[in-house]
Structure 1
Amino acid sequence: MKPIRVWLIPPGPNPWKVVLILEELGVPYEIVTIRFDDVKKKPYTDINPNGRCPAIQDPNRDITLWESGAIIQYIIEEYDTDMKLTYDKFPEKHHLNQWLQFQMSGQGPYYGAAAWFNVLHEEKLPTAIERYNAQLKRVLSVLDGWLADRQWLVGDKVTYADLAFVPWNERIDSIILCAPEEKFAGFPNVQAWHERMVSRPAWKRIMEIRAALMEESGLENATGRPARFKSHQEYEEAIARGENTDP
């Protein structure tokens, strides 16, 4: 089997959902690191016209895909033939899709907005910070309630739906600027669920890869920008001017 090519920007959480699924399934892959400066222009926009990561190219099936949820569903359908991370029976297969959609429509956007207003936006807007921090905690409350009497979102094993939540939940402390040990305060069921997943060998392996890529790229862990820029706006303005933004 030829490796699946995965385009990613190392700091971003969404690509690591895809890499985690590939790692769990033992599907060979190769990472192509793209700079934030280049994600909105050719040749990458020929791969993903939306100019976001991740995107994949699978030479085994001759297909290119973007949008992490669509990629996860593709990998599961094509490569999880042993049903390691999925179910093919009714109603579990639909419930898995339900939770993946909640991750895509709820967790990702609200956590991303919270990260923007807490960390990246130059002007601190208390109302925006309050709103999106509250929405982040609302997502956690939904998960915590569901996990009160179960270990996994669907069925009796870890699935792709569970794993899709890990990268964003892992960075809650850097999003809402709290101590790492406080990021799941008030949500003990989510904390236990998350700890079950981050203790898995696949997660540990891909975080070693991420750490190496971050160091190689000279990027800050919290912001994803080169450390020499004082704000994300300064970084984006330098990109717009066509300046060299190397660390």
Structure 2
Amino acid sequence: MIDLHYWATPNGYKIRLFLEETGLAHRIVPVDIRAGDQFRPEFLAIAPNNRIPAIVDHAPADGGAPLSLFESGAILLYLAEKTGRFIPQDIRGRAEVLQWLFWQMGGLGPMAGQNGHFNVYAPEKIPYAIDRYVRETARLYGVLDRRLADRDFVAGDAYTIADMAIYPWIVPHEAHRQDLDATPHLKRWFLQVGQRPATQRTYAEATASYSKPLTDAERAMLFGTPPGR
């Protein structure tokens, strides 16, 4: 049994995609990041960076005590290795998946995240910041579009954890001021992944929380240092 400590964000969706694809037994443990659940001691014990998602595997392969992990990329890799699914076993195929997984973690996620922050959440609209992150997000979309010009999925012919990591960060493309018609190969892939039953199940309970206005207290929880922390 896997406990998934989760909220409906792109990084949270990554892990739900994997669990839905594999049918791995799991339990959702909500972490309401607007209410400050990410600062609770019991969550910090497994996720010291106070960010979701995190997991606790109650049946790790070594048969030992429950194993906890934070960081969505590390979790995807752990689950892929645990199940032997959605990551190639050969060295070259594995390398393809890992480099695109790290591309998402180090590039697309942070840049699109800042894009969303300054476009959607920031109380002050700063043109320089908005332009900087919209442009960088567009550049990364271009990288992905060229990559997908001659292959079905990011790492080749098979759907992998690289696709699972990237897809949730393309979902909010409109809020990030990106036009998928400008990247037709990316758009084809995005629509293809969106038709997967596991993807549809993952997003069936999606909410409008991405664009819901924040209160000052919620903004402090998400982007500042809450009082007393």
Q: Same fold judged by TM-score > 0.5? A: yes
Cα distance change, pair 237–160 in 1 and its aligned pair in 2 (3 A): closer
Choose which of 75, 79, 83 in structure 1 pairs with 2:79. 75
Aligned equivalent of 2:219 = 236
Matching of residue 186 in structure 1 with residue 182 in structure 2: yes
Secondary structure in 2 aligned to 1:165?
helix
* Pairwise CA distance, 1:160: 1.3
Choose which of 16, 19, 31 in structure 1 pairs with 2:16. 19
* Pairwise CA distance, 1:234: 5.0
The answer on whether the counterparts of 1:54 and 1:66 sit within 8 Å (CA) in structure 2 is yes
Cα distance change, pair 91–237 in 1 and its aligned pair in 2 (3 A): closer
Secondary structure in 1 aligned to 2:41?
coil
In the alignment, the residues of structure 1 paired with residue 187 and residue 215 of structure 2 have an alpha-carbon distance, to the nearest angstrom, of 30
* Pairwise CA distance, 1:155: 2.7
Cα deviation 1:75-129 (Å, max 9, x = unaligned): 000112xx4x221113111111000000101110000000000010000000000
Cα distance change, pair 159–49 in 1 and its aligned pair in 2 (3 A): same
**Which runs of 5 or more residues in structure 1 are unaligned?**
177-181, 215-219, 243-247
Aligned equivalent of 1:195 = 191
* Paired positions, count: 218
Cα distance change, pair 60–238 in 1 and its aligned pair in 2 (3 A): closer
What residue identity is the alignment partner of 2:210?
Answer: A
In the alignment, the residues of structure 2 paired with residue 183 and residue 57 of structure 1 have an alpha-carbon distance, to the nearest angstrom, of 38
What residue identity is the alignment partner of 2:81?
Answer: E
Secondary structure in 2 aligned to 1:43?
helix
* Pairwise CA distance, 1:43: 2.1
* Pairwise CA distance, 1:46: 1.3
* Pairwise CA distance, 1:232: 5.2
* Pairwise CA distance, 1:154: 1.9
In the alignment, the residues of structure 1 paired with residue 108 and residue 216 of structure 2 have an alpha-carbon distance, to the nearest angstrom, of 24
Matching of residue 164 in structure 1 with residue 198 in structure 2: no
In the alignment, the residues of structure 1 paired with residue 141 and residue 181 of structure 2 have an alpha-carbon distance, to the nearest angstrom, of 10
* Pairwise CA distance, 1:59: 0.3
RMSD: 1.9
In the alignment, the residues of structure 2 paired with residue 60 and residue 238 of structure 1 have an alpha-carbon distance, to the nearest angstrom, of 33
Aligned equivalent of 2:68 = 64
* Pairwise CA distance, 1:221: 2.6
Secondary structure in 2 aligned to 1:116?
helix
Aligned equivalent of 2:44 = 45
Cα distance change, pair 237–95 in 1 and its aligned pair in 2 (3 A): closer
Aligned equivalent of 2:209 = 221
The answer on whether the counterparts of 2:81 and 2:87 sit within 8 Å (CA) in structure 1 is no
* Pairwise CA distance, 1:26: 1.6
Secondary structure in 2 aligned to 1:72?
helix
Secondary structure in 2 aligned to 1:16?
helix
* Pairwise CA distance, 1:237: 4.6
Aligned equivalent of 1:152 = 153
The answer on whether the counterparts of 1:120 and 1:232 sit within 8 Å (CA) in structure 2 is no
Matching of residues 51-130 of structure 1 within 5 Å? 51-61=50-60, 62-80=66-84, 83=85, 85-130=86-131
Paired-residue identity, %: 33
Cα deviation 1:127-178 (Å, max 9, x = unaligned): 00000000111110001111112211223211111121111101111233xx
Aligned equivalent of 1:205 = 201
Secondary structure in 1 aligned to 2:40?
coil
**Which runs of 5 or more residues in structure 2 are unaligned?**
61-65
